[in-house]
Amino acid sequence: MGVKKEKHKMPEQPPEERIHNFNEVPLGYPVEVAVEEAKRCLQCKNRPCTKGCPVEIDIPDFIKKIAEGDFDKAVEVLKTKTSLPAVCGRVCPYENQCEGQCTLLKVGEPVAIGRLERFLADYERMKGVKPPKIPESTGKKVAIIGAGPAGLTCAGDLAKMGHSVTIFEALHAPGGVLMYGIPEFRLPKEIVKSEVDYIEKLGVEIKYDIVVGKTITIEELRREYDAVFIGTGAGLPRFLNIPGENLNGVYSANEFLTRVNMMKAYLFPEYDTPIKIGKTVATFGAGNVAMDCARTALRLGAKKSLIIYRRSEKEMPARAEEIEHAKEEGIEFKLLTNPVEFIGDEKGVLKAVKCIKMKLGEPDETGRCRPVPIPGSEFTLDIDTALIAIGQSPNPLISQTMKNLKVGKHGNIVTDENGRTNIPGVFAGGDIATGAATVILAMGAGKRAARAIDEYLKSK
């Protein structure tokens, strides 16, 4: 067999250049490379890749069409299962999903499914997205709370089934974490806008500036709509709860990223929202959000950007590609290190962090080795800015204002695998149900909930 063992490389902006701009890092496959890569696919009968996809995309089918050069048909196949291909083609953890199941792994690297998905989505956008066919109306109305990945996917699928869908969004922009969380250099906001535009063309209406639980209640929505889907995400930032955390210069990852991404603080003073970045920036945590913070800090002009993490490299929850990109850009990793106190000057401005060295102990309930402090190993690092990226909890606003809704011990809304809550006609999915996870898992939850909502509406 003459199958090339490695994926075709995707061109990228060189690190020394990209740390000075917010433009996208990977540049996408050129047409001929995409076709060559598509030809690596073995077209397995048992389709392990599709089984690995949370939204069940018919992967071998769209890849076959790319190999044949029929990109329009390929787009059609792709879009029957996902309304956000340009997003998924950039931020999905393919290595654990579709690509993680690829038969080619036995001989080398998997087919670059993520890059091919991205190629198709970009091809379609350049060409001008074909307006979708709007099906006949069922006369049923569904309210969706939150215009993030779960809500948008659920809305798109329900609209394709002919239901009338209205999304209620608290912020002034759509996309949820795609807009406020993921940086421009990883997911350009124009792409989010164009994907949202497609969903609106399906007939979905988005109402902004509406905080459900405050501006209107879920009970009011239930009176007006036949079903409600809650996709309000994991918006509540976690803090370290150590002394000095309220000093000036300590930000939650959410505040830092929202200022920069959604409010465009990197363009201050053209945009009104400011951000302050010091010479040395320390990000605490080692997930994708932490990598986004550390890399954003560099682009804002930090001389030194550190990742401080209490376990070792092996346990870092970020995707391999994100860690790789961060390393290429010169992010320093201080592993097996835990902060114990932030130290400020007389004006309440952060100037240092006291840390302690850790070693790995016995595995905990997550299966990862528990980090244990090494007594007497404390040391102080001079830093100007601290970014806390140790995770987010589900947003409590709705569960607080809807007393009979069943909520788990972490504040997550309890649902079955199809998003049904304990209240008939009320569905939930994404981070609000699972706790902070990935974009694609939220999309998968939105998709399954759409099916369950459709069943519910038909049975009414």
Q: Which is nearer to another protein, 271 or 379 (CB)?
A: 271
Distance CA 58, CA 326 (A): 32
Contact flag: residue 278 with another protein (CB under 8 A): no
- Strand pairing of 205-207 and 392-393? unpaired
- Residue 263 as a binder of another protein (CB under 8 A): the answer is yes
For 129, phi and psi rounded to 5 degrees?
-70, 130
Using CA atoms of 256, 432, 92, 419 in order, give the dihedral in degrees to the nearest 10. -170
Pairing relationship of beta strands 280-284 and 141-145 according to DSSP bridges:
unpaired
Contact 377, 357 (CB under 8 A): yes
- Stretch in the footprint of another protein (CB under 8 A) among 40-48, 109-117, 143-151, 250-258: 250-258
Q: Assess 189 for contact with another protein (CB under 8 A).
A: no
By C-beta, is 268 or 333 nearer to another protein?
Answer: 268
Asked if residue 274 binds another protein (CB under 8 A), the reply is yes
Name which of 88 and 289 has its Cβ closer to another protein: 289
Q: How far is the CB of 431 from another protein (least distance, A)?
A: 12
Amino acid identity of 215? Answer: T
Q: Considering the rule CB under 8 A, would residue 270 count as an interface residue with another protein?
A: yes
Q: How many CB atoms lie within 10 A of CB 73?
A: 15
Q: Given candidates 151, 235, 285, 339, which one binds another protein under the rule CB under 8 A? A: 235
If binding is defined by CB under 8 A, does position 239 make contact with another protein? yes
Determine, following the binding rule CB under 8 A, whether residue 301 of this chain makes contact with another protein.
Answer: no
Can you tell me the distance from the alpha carbon of 425 to that of 448, in angstroms, rounded to the nearest whole number? Answer: 14
With CB under 8 A as the contact rule, the residue among 348, 361, 363, 424 that binds another protein is: 348
DSSP letter string, 293-328: HHHHHHHTT-SEEEEE-SS-GGG--S-HHHHHHHHH
Give the residue, chosen from 141, 194, 268, 317, that forms a contact with another protein under the rule CB under 8 A: 268
In the complex, the smallest distance separating the C-beta of residue 88 from another protein, rounded to whole angstroms, is 24
3-state secondary structure of 360: strand
User: Rule CB under 8 A: is residue 23 a binding residue for another protein?
Assistant: no
* CA–CA separation, 291 and 274 (whole Å): 21
Place of tokens 């889907």: 229
Instruction: Choose the binding region for another protein from 74-82, 238-246, 288-296, 412-420 (rule: CB under 8 A).
Output: 238-246
Asked if 269 touches another protein (CB under 8 A), the answer is yes
Which of residues 165 and 275 has its CB atom nearest to another protein in the complex?
Answer: 275
Residue 172 engages another protein in binding (rule: CB under 8 A): yes
Q: Residue 227: phi, psi to the nearest 5?
A: -155, 155
Site for another protein in 376-435 (CB under 8 A): 395-397
- Closest distance to another protein from the beta carbon of 66 (Å): 38
Say whether residue 450 binds another protein (CB under 8 A): no
Site size toward another protein, by CB under 8 A: 40
One-letter identity of residue 141: K
Query: Does 26 interact with another protein (rule: CB under 8 A)?
Result: no
Main-chain phi, psi angles of 143, to 5 degrees: -105, 135
CA distances from 366 to 13, 314, 362, 363 (A): 37, 14, 11, 8
Q: Is 159:133 a contact under the CB 8 Å cutoff?
A: no
Q: Which positions from 132 to 171 touch another protein by CB under 8 A, shown as an x/- string?
A: --------------------------------------xx
Q: How far is the CB of 298 from another protein (least distance, A)?
A: 20
DSSP H helices in 52-148: 59-67, 71-81, 85-91, 113-127
255 belongs to the binding site for another protein (CB under 8 A): yes
Q: Which of 248, 377, 380, 422 binds another protein (CB under 8 A)?
A: 248
User: Binding residues for another protein, per CB under 8 A?
Assistant: 170-172, 180, 208-211, 214-216, 235-237, 239, 241, 245-246, 248, 251-252, 254-255, 258-259, 263-264, 268-274, 276, 347-348, 395-397
